[in-house]
């Protein structure tokens, strides 16, 4: 009997060994080889090859371990040529629908003086034409603009400013037709053949131009077009997940929100939705809207993890730059104010506890130390009322923190969702910027990412796009150097608060995934997780600091499919 048991055991052990080393049942769709793969998985931090099937990673490790997944007929091979590959970036705080407007308007990026703002505006508004130097001195007509701008209002003044060329869109919204009479001291130029307005409006006829009020349908189309541009930008930046948060009051309007959900849903259904989106919603006290949120939460599942309802966003204060972030002590540059409190503690307690009970995640914007303190208090109260749950409420920005509040992030399970943006306007003067507002002593407690991480807080990293660019290299550069991206010679700000490169990458991938309850399915490269991968031109972990900004994304893979390749640009 005894020997029989031994035999049984040895067969079992053999079977286990056999299973571990034998070829898998199915061949991979794609195998990445010759890689320097940083997995962000503590148990298995590096790999040289990775096999994926459908949208999921099936195995990763040494080439000899992955080789059995290669089927000559079925498996595509991608040679990474020893480049660094890592989980696709997950931006924990973007304004996706405002970000896309950055493409449709013009930019003040890198502007450091009032003159420059004026110059750029002038450049735009002074873009004037003169038929005298056009071929045949011919007057231009609306068709010229309609072709390139069918859905936007365009008004181009002639060099003299006394007349303008407008497109059909402007004529339509202004109700200017062939039957519109000329106003006194003005003229609507009409085509001698058809009688239709040509688009040229002289002097007082320009007063007929109405401010555009796009219809819901037009707004929807504009949003969709802009979202497509934003998707392209995300793919170019190796960003495979974004957490969209409502920004200003205007973008929190219920109609805007409904449209946003509809646009994402359409992109999901019709394609191509090439970034996973967690759609944040604004705080509401309307029972109907809360019902909508619950309905969306139910509706936005079973879509291969492409689209989900995100956190409920709310503002407790505003910004340091405008002296409206709520500070524990008055502003140094304006002692008459300590900033703005947008909701009293008791009311916030009730709201957070209510949303918490309904299993909604809160993402509350708090920049000043008193603002952060009030939000932490509300979280503490929610734990008291509802008992401790895995709520993962977030504080967006958490820029200034009272020393006593540092351990409370971990204790309450509150996530600091931070954006390592040291904007160009700070540059070398970044230190005075904070000192001017919060004073020398409290400046020590601004953007304390390393301290928070050491206190076991789980950070999510992002850009606040379009406040910062969507490019993760800029954020990683600022996170590890504590320097401004536009003024690299300027000194590092509180260098002791820098993150290691490994930590910056971890927070930008797994940390952000945790911040949206998705760390089980993405954020690191592990068998069974989604195959969202970014391949970079440089080894982010070993190159000199200054080279981080020159690092480019070579390939972006989302759910096993290549959605961007720098070679096919
Ligand atoms: Zn924001």
CA 320 – ligand 1 centroid, Å:
14
CA 208 – ligand 1 centroid, Å:
37
Q: What is the mean pLDDT of the chain?
A: 86
Q: What is the pLDDT of residue 266?
A: 93
CA 380 – ligand 1 centroid, Å:
24
Crossing angle for the helix pair 254-270 and 216-236, to the nearest 10 degrees = 60
CA 247 – ligand 1 centroid, Å:
6
CA 246 – ligand 1 centroid, Å:
8
- Judged against a pLDDT cut of 70, whether residue 125 lies above it is answered with no
- Judged against a pLDDT cut of 50, whether residue 359 lies above it is answered with yes
Q: What is the pLDDT of residue 425?
A: 38
DSSP type of residue 539: -
pLDDT digits (tens, 9 = 90+) for 17-68: 444 445 555 899 999 999 999 999 999 999 999 999 999 999 999 999 999 9
CA 310 – ligand 1 centroid, Å:
14
CA 166 – ligand 1 centroid, Å:
35
More confident site: 112 or 183: 183
Q: What is the pLDDT of residue 222?
A: 82
- Judged against a pLDDT cut of 80, whether residue 197 lies above it is answered with yes
More confident site: 552 or 423: 552
Q: What is the pLDDT of residue 19?
A: 44
CA 306 – ligand 1 centroid, Å:
22
364 band by pLDDT with thresholds 50, 70 and 90: very high
Question: Quick one: average pLDDT of 109-124?
Answer: 62
More confident site: 16 or 356: 356
CA 125 – ligand 1 centroid, Å:
29
More confident site: 567 or 364: 364
Among 140-154, 224-238, 338-352, 499-513, the least confident range:
140-154
Q: What is the pLDDT of residue 132?
A: 64
CA 245 – ligand 1 centroid, Å:
7
Q: What is the pLDDT of residue 146?
A: 87
CA 66 – ligand 1 centroid, Å:
42
Cβ within 8 Å of residue 546, ≥6 positions away: 488
Cβ pair 366, 398 in contact under 8 A: yes
Nearest to 259 by CA among 404, 97, 384: 97
Tokens read off for 211: 């401010």
CA 462 – ligand 1 centroid, Å:
10
pLDDT digits (tens, 9 = 90+) for 293-303: 999 899 888 88
CA 385 – ligand 1 centroid, Å:
29
Q: What is the pLDDT of residue 211?
A: 67
395 band by pLDDT with thresholds 50, 70 and 90: very high
CA 32 – ligand 1 centroid, Å:
36
- Judged against a pLDDT cut of 80, whether residue 245 lies above it is answered with yes
Burial 454-486 (b: 16+ CB within 10 A, else e): eeebbbbbbbbbbebbbbbbbbbbbbbbbbbbb
Cβ pair 442, 431 in contact under 8 A: no
Return the bridge partners of 186, or none. 203
CA 39 – ligand 1 centroid, Å:
29
493 band by pLDDT with thresholds 50, 70 and 90: confident
**Residue with token string 């502003």:** 331
CA 115 – ligand 1 centroid, Å:
27
CA 168 – ligand 1 centroid, Å:
36
CA 467 – ligand 1 centroid, Å:
7
Determine phi and psi for 86, rounding to 5 degrees.
Answer: -150, 170
Q: What is the pLDDT of residue 251?
A: 55
Q: What is the pLDDT of residue 145?
A: 86
DSSP type of residue 447: S
Q: What is the pLDDT of residue 247?
A: 75
Q: What is the pLDDT of residue 290?
A: 87
Q: What is the pLDDT of residue 1?
A: 43
**Candidate ranges 133-137, 342-346, 427-431; pick with highest mean pLDDT:** 342-346
Q: What is the pLDDT of residue 14?
A: 45
Distance CA 529, CA 47 (A): 15
278 band by pLDDT with thresholds 50, 70 and 90: very high
Q: In what order do the strands lie in the sheet with 56-61?
A: 56-61, 49-53, 30-33, 76-79
CA 383 – ligand 1 centroid, Å:
26
pLDDT digits (tens, 9 = 90+) for 407-466: 999 999 999 999 987 543 343 445 577 888 898 889 899 999 999 999 999 999 999 887
Tokens read off for 30: 């794609």
Among 131-145, 229-243, 371-385, 553-567, the least confident range:
131-145
- Judged against a pLDDT cut of 70, whether residue 6 lies above it is answered with no
CA 423 – ligand 1 centroid, Å:
14
Cβ pair 344, 386 in contact under 8 A: no
CA 48 – ligand 1 centroid, Å:
37
CA 397 – ligand 1 centroid, Å:
8
Q: What is the pLDDT of residue 569?
A: 58
CA 445 – ligand 1 centroid, Å:
21
- Judged against a pLDDT cut of 70, whether residue 179 lies above it is answered with yes
CA 419 – ligand 1 centroid, Å:
9
Q: Quick one: CA dihedral 234, 237, 243, 249, positive or negative?
A: negative
Question: Quick one: average pLDDT of 100-108?
Answer: 49
CA 36 – ligand 1 centroid, Å:
34
Among 35-49, 333-347, 430-444, 482-496, the least confident range:
482-496
Q: Determine what percent of the chain is predicted with pLDDT higher than 70.
A: 84
CA 350 – ligand 1 centroid, Å:
24
CA 212 – ligand 1 centroid, Å:
27
CA 417 – ligand 1 centroid, Å:
10
């Amino acid at each position: 009997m005894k020997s029989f048991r031994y035999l049984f055991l040895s067969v079992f052990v053999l079977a286990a060994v056999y299973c571990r080393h034998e070829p898998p049942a199915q061949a991979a769709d794609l195998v990445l080889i010759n890689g320097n793969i940083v997995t962000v998985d503590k148990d298995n931090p590096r790999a040289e090859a990775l096999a994926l099937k459908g949208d999921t990673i099936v195995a990763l490790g040494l080439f000899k371990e992955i080789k059995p997944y290669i089927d000559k007929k079925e498996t595509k091979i991608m040679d990474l040529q020893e480049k660094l590959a890592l989980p696709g970036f997950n931006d924990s705080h973007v304004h996706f629908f405002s970000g896309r407007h950055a493409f449709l308007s013009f930019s003040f990026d890198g502007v450091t003086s009032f003159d420059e703002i004026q110059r750029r505006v002038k450049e735009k508004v002074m873009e004037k034409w003169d038929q005298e130097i056009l071929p045949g001195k011919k007057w231009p007509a609306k068709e010229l603009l309609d072709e390139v701008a069918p859905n936007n209002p365009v008004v181009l003044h002639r060099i003299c400013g006394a007349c303008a060329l407008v497109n059909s869109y402007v004529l339509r919204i202004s109700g200017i037709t062939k039957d519109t009479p000329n106003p006194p001291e003005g003229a609507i130029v009409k085509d001698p053949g058809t009688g239709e307005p040509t688009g040229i409006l002289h002097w007082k006829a320009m007063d007929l131009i109405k401010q555009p009020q796009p219809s819901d349908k037009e707004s929807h189309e504009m949003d969709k077009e802009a979202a497509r541009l934003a998707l392209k930008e995300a793919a170019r930046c190796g960003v495979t997940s974004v957490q969209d948060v409502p920004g200003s009051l205007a973008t929190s309007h219920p109609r805007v929100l409904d449209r946003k959900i509809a646009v994402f849903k359409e992109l999901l259904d019709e394609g191509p939705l090439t970034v996973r989106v967690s759609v944040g919603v604004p705080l509401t006290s309307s029972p109907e809207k809360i019902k909508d949120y619950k309905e969306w939460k139910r509706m936005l599942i079973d879509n291969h993890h492409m689209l989900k309802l995100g956190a409920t966003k709310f503002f407790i204060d505003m910004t340091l730059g405008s002296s409206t972030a709520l500070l524990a002590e008055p502003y140094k540059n304006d002692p008459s104010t300590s900033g703005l409190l947008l909701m009293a503690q008791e009311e916030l307690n009730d709201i957070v506890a209510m949303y918490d009970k309904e299993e909604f995640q809160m993402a509350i914007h708090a920049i000043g130390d008193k603002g952060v303190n009030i939000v932490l208090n509300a979280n503490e109260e929610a734990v008291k009322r509802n008992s401790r749950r895995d709520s993962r409420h977030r504080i967006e920005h958490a820029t200034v923190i009272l020393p006593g509040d540092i351990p409370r992030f971990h204790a309450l399970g509150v996530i600091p969702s931070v954006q390592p943006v040291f904007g160009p306007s700070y540059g070398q003067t970044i230190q005075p910027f904070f000192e001017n507002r919060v004073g020398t002593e409290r400046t020590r407690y601004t953007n304390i990412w390393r301290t928070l991480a050491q206190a076991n807080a789980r950070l999510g990293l992002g850009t606040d796009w379009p406040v910062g660019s969507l490019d993760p290299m800029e954020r990683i550069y600022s996170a590890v150097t504590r320097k401004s991206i536009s003024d690299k010679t300027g000194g590092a700000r509180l260098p002791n608060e820098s993150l290691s490169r490994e930590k910056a990458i971890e927070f930008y991938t797994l940390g952000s995934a945790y911040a949206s309850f998705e760390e089980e399915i993405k954020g690191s490269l592990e068998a069974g997780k989604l195959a969202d991968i970014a391949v970079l031109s440089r080894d982010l972990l070993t190159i000199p600091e200054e080279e981080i900004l020159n690092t480019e994304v070579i390939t972006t893979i989302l759910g096993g499919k290549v959605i961007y390749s720098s070679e096919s640009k």
